[in-house]
Amino acid sequence: MSIFVNGETRLCVQGITGRDGAFHTKEMIDYGTNVVCGVTPGKSGQSVHGVPVFDTMADAVRETGANASITFVPARFAAPAIIEAAEAGVDLVVAISEGIPTLDVAKVYQRLSELGTRMIGPNCPGVISPGKAKVGIMPGWIHAPGPVGVVSRSGTLTYEVVDQLRRNGLGQSTVLGIGGDPIIGTNFIDALTAYGTDPQTEVVVLIGEIGGTDEEQAAQFVTEHLDKPVVSFIAGRTAPPGKRMGHAGAIIAGGKGTAQEKIKALNEAGIPVADRPSDIPGLIAAALGRK
C-alpha cells in the first residue's frame, strides 16, 4: 500500500497552463500519475499534454471526478486556489507554491480543517508513492518501491536521502515532503500516524531541520504511539542563532529549535540520528535486523 496518493488518485493541476504547471504535468503523466484535468481561469476548452482545462475547480471535479489537486499558482493567488479546490470536494491538496503569506496559510488551514481536506505544504516538493503516483516536483527516477517511508521538511535533502536508499537497495512506500514554512497542512505526526497503519511501511526515515519544535513532538509521538522503527537526520547543526537558513521556519530563536535539542529528544526516544545522509541506509538495516 502507501499513504495519501496511489493508483486511485485522480489529479487536477491548478495553474496547468503556466510554465511550471505544464512542465510538471508532463513529468507526472510520464511517471504514470492519473492526471485527469487542469484549471486555469479563462482557459476552459484548451488542453495541455492531452489534459482538458477548466475555468474552475467545481467544473473540473464535476466533469472528471478528480479527488486531488496540486497547485502551481503564484503566491498571491495560491490561498484562494487551495480553498477553491477543497470546496470543490477534493480530499487532498498538494500546495507546491512558495512565499504564501503566513496569515493566508493560517486562514487556509482553518478552512480546510472545517472541510476535512488534507493539505500537504505549502512550499513543498509534494508526495510520491513509487510505482503508483507522483504528485509533486520530485525526480521520479530516483525512487523505487519498497518498505521505507520518508517524511521530510527539506525538499532537496529528501532527494539526497532517497538516492542513498536506492543505491543501497532500499525502496520506499511513500516519500513525503511536508515543507518548512511556519504553518503547514500535514506535519510529522500526521505522517507518522499514516505510516503506522500502512502495511507496506516497515521503517520510517524522519528528516528534520533547525527551527520550531516539530521534531521534538514527533519524538514524543513515536515513544507513545508508534511501534515501527524510526531513524532520522537533522540538518543545520552548524547554523548560527538568529539567522534563517533556507525555509521560513528554519530559524533558531531564543536558544530554541537547535539541532542539538532535536537530536537529544530523538535519541531519548530511541530514534538513531545519522551524522550524514549516507549513514541512513546502515541505520535502517540495523533497525530492520538486516546485514
Task: Give the residue numbers marked as catalytic.
Answer: 247
Please spell the DSSP secondary structure of the chain, one letter per residue.
--SS--TT--EEEETTTSHHHHHHHHHHHHHT--EEEEE-TT-TT-EETTEEEESSHHHHHHHH---EEEE---HHHHHHHHHHHHHHT-SEEEE------HHHHHHHHHHHHHHT-EEE-SSS-EEEETTTEEEESS-GGG--EEEEEEEES-SHHHHHHHHHHHHTT--EEEEEE---SSS-SS-HHHHHHHHHT-TT--EEEEEEESSSSHHHHHHHHHHHH--S-EEEEEE-TTPPTT---SSTT---BTTBS-HHHHHHHHHHTT--B-SSGGGHHHHHHHHTT--
Q: At what angle do helices 75-88 and 57-64 cross, to 10 degrees?
A: 40
Q: Are 210 and 250 in contact (CB under 8 A)?
A: yes
Cell 509533486 belongs to which residue? 136
List Cα–Cα distances, 59 to 25, 103, 244, in angstroms: 19, 28, 41
Q: CA–CA distance from 66 to each of 89, 92, 204, 265 (Å)?
A: 9, 10, 29, 41
